[in-house]
Amino acid sequence: MASWKKIGAAFAFTSVVSATSVVSATTALQVCAQIQRALSPASGVFIPLASSASPAGAATNSIYAADNAHWFASSTQASACTVEPATAADVSALIKLLGQTKTPFAVKGGGHATNPGYSSTTGVQIAMTRFNAVTYDKKSGTIVLGAGKIWDDVYTELEPLGVFVPGGRVPGIGVAGYTLGGGYNWISNQIGLTVDIVLEYELVKPNGDIVCVTKTSNPDLFFALKGGYNNFGIVTQFTYQAFPIGKVWGGLITYGIAQTAEFNAAFSAFSAHATDPKAALVSGYGLDPNGQPAVGNIMFYNGPTPPKGLFDAFLNIKNTSSDIGTRTLSSLVASAPQDLPAGTRGFFNTMSFFEYTPAIVNAVQNETAFWGPRVTAVEAGALAGYHMEAFESTFLSHNTTPTAWPFYRSKKFVPLQMQFTWSNPKNDDIIRGFMEQSAIHLTNVANQDGQQVQELPLYPNYGLFTSPPARIYGSNIPRLQAIKAQVDPQNVMGLAGGWRF
């Protein structure tokens, strides 16, 4: 442990401040009343009532709770009120009022942000649920998605048409936050990140202007919105290139800990040598609720059957559960449910590697074995999970315009997603410290493995809030700062939490 601390000091992380201004609860409530008067009847404002004894009060309180709710309880806060805008004009009125009154606020799509305060607030919680368009235009080959959609619903709704927008790979993820951060999808090997296929953003700027942002109408904002998160205003809808989708193959398979060595070898071989761009893999280590280490894979093939042999290294390992087959995309996505017990707190942290070499894979697995018992010692039932993603060598070369994220595309790099969970708020800082130490240790392992991973971008949608913004936006920061100064000179979006440059 002593040598650990030494390593830790060399890579000390700096903290990032989220919301920049605070108003009293009374002031926020007054602003809620102002919002109520300013918005059209299509939109809704929900102020929690002290008692939910009356049916109307109970209904209000339940919408208020749903608007505030997040996948991780640690990402949920009690807001002064929630607002469900229904039109871009109402979002415009709303953002102007929030800016003028300097009221802290948050914008929520699917509520899967794993950093506290990134889409939650004690001020005004905006929930985008009423932006629920899913519109396929066959002639132009494009699909418009409202900023309140959840990916699994998008897949189900589009399935009869034989098209889709490549998005989240497991249930529950919001279209908006996912797309604003980058977007690793099941066919990234074929089409790149989801930001690479966005053609148009309908954006409500911090000054209230409603604009259509395309490659030609506004190249700067088009670049900035592609990975630049919630720094430039509120997006109401996204237009994407549509892709055909038919029956796919794959699903979830799990193995016992005794199969770990075999599994590690299969994963690093697949990651380094897979050349079929229709194939994809997300693999993970976790502990089951009994503290038993477990290993698993979600396998994917963009077609009804993978070529013979492609996934054999995984299919030949003795499994403990398997739900693999030819199926619809929505069924494959549903095969890996992400339901958490109520009150589950958690953070993600991330690393990027050039390649999942055997040394890296073994080190990642060792982190699970190392931290699993340590988080359990802090709190019974706490879990330390690690997920690795395999992509082929050219998957970052599909963009036709520059993107805010990633700032580096000259060589393949692959993400690691760390996911620790617990339930007692008093353990937040301790477990966050473990996650930071783990990333530092893996950075050292990568360096010893000949991978200078400190140069690589960290994925904003997996990053822990203590990560330095320079690790996320790197060489793009000067351009992003210049665009930010033009679009949001009053830093209205700074009243919300999120990555800042």
Ligand X SMILES: *[C@@H]1O[C@H](CO)[C@@H](O)[C@H](O)[C@H]1NC(C)=O
Cβ within 8 Å of residue 329, ≥6 positions away: 155, 159, 164, 186, 245, 248
Minimal distance, residue 328 CB to ligand X, in Å: 18
> Could you tell me if 79 and 120 are in contact, meaning their C-beta atoms sit under 8 angstroms apart?
yes
> Tokens 């499994």, residue?
319
Q: What is the largest CA-CA distance in the chain?
A: 65
Q: Where are the alpha helices (DSSP H) in 198-252?
A: 219-225
Q: Which is nearer to ligand FAD, 104 or 109 (CB)?
A: 109
Q: Output the smallest distance, CB 164 to ligand X, in A.
A: 25
If one asks whether residue 190 binds ligand X (CB under 6 A), the answer comes out as no
414-453: which residues touch ligand X (CB under 6 A)? 441
d(CA 145, CA 237): 6
Binding site for ligand FAD (CB under 6 A): 71, 106-114, 118-119, 128, 147, 168-170, 173-174, 176-178, 180-184, 230, 234-235, 338, 461, 496, 498
Q: Which is nearer to ligand X, 52 or 322 (CB)?
A: 322
Q: What's the residue count for the chain?
A: 501
With respect to ligand X, which residue has the nearer C-beta, 324 or 404? 324
Comparison of 31 and 281: residue with beta carbon closer to ligand X: 281
Provide the token pair at 417.
Answer: 């997603």
Closest contact distance (angstroms) between CB of 316 and ligand FAD is 26
Residue 411: left (phi > 0), alpha (psi -120 to 50), or beta? beta
The binder of 170, among ligand X, ligand FAD, none, by C-beta within 5 to 8 A per type, is ligand FAD
Place of tokens 């805010």: 404
Phi and psi at 135, nearest 5°, equal -125, 120
Which of ligand FAD, ligand X, none sits in contact with 46, Cβ below 5 to 8 A by type?
none
- CB of 315: closest distance to ligand X in angstroms? 4
Give the phi and the psi of residue 387 in degrees, each rounded to 5.
-125, 130
Using the rule CB under 6 A, give the single segment among 33-41, 201-209, 362-370, 486-494 that binds ligand X. 362-370
Q: Restricting to residues 205-264, name those near ligand X by CB under 6 A.
A: 253
Q: Which of 19, 315, 336, 340 binds ligand X (CB under 6 A)?
A: 315
Beta-bridged to residue 326, according to DSSP, are 249
Residue selected from 319, 328, 344, 357 as contacting ligand X according to rule CB under 6 A: 319
- How far apart CA 3 and CA 440 sit, in angstroms, is 12
Task: Please say which residue, 272 or 336, places its beta carbon nearer to ligand FAD.
Answer: 336
Strands 105-108 and 124-127: parallel
Contact 116, 15 (CB under 8 A): no
State which residue, 233 or 293, has the beta carbon closest to ligand FAD. 233
Q: Which two tokens stand for residue 57?
A: 């009060």
The listed partner (ligand X, ligand FAD, none) that binds 173, CB under 5 to 8 Å by sort, is ligand FAD
Q: Which two tokens stand for residue 114?
A: 């794993």
CB closer to ligand X out of 267 and 407: 267
Closest by CA to 195, choosing from 472, 400, 478, 475, is 400
Distance of CA 136 to the CA centre of its chain: 24
- β-pair type (243-244, 134-137): unpaired
- Of these partners, ligand FAD, ligand X, none, which one is at the site of residue 147 (CB under 5 to 8 Å by kind)? ligand FAD
Contact with ligand X (CB under 6 A): which of 52, 322, 331, 376? 322
Residue 111 interacts with which of ligand X, ligand FAD, none, CB < 5 to 8 Å by class:
ligand FAD
For ligand X, the binding residues in 370-399 under the rule CB under 6 A are 370
| Count of Cβ atoms closer than 10 Å to residue 141 Cβ | 14
Binding-site partner at residue 387 among ligand X, ligand FAD, none, CB < 5 to 8 Å by type: none
Residue 77 interacting with ligand X (CB under 6 A): no
- The distance of closest approach from Cβ of residue 426 to ligand X in the complex, given in angstroms and rounded to an integer, is 24
197 versus 496: smaller Cβ distance to ligand FAD: 496
Tell how far CA 85 is from the center of its chain.
Answer: 23
Q: Give the DSSP H/E element, type plus range, for residue 470.
A: helix 469-473
Q: Which amino acid is at 242?
A: A
Please give the residue ranges that form the binding site for ligand X (CB under 6 A). 253, 315, 319, 322, 324, 363, 366-367, 370, 441
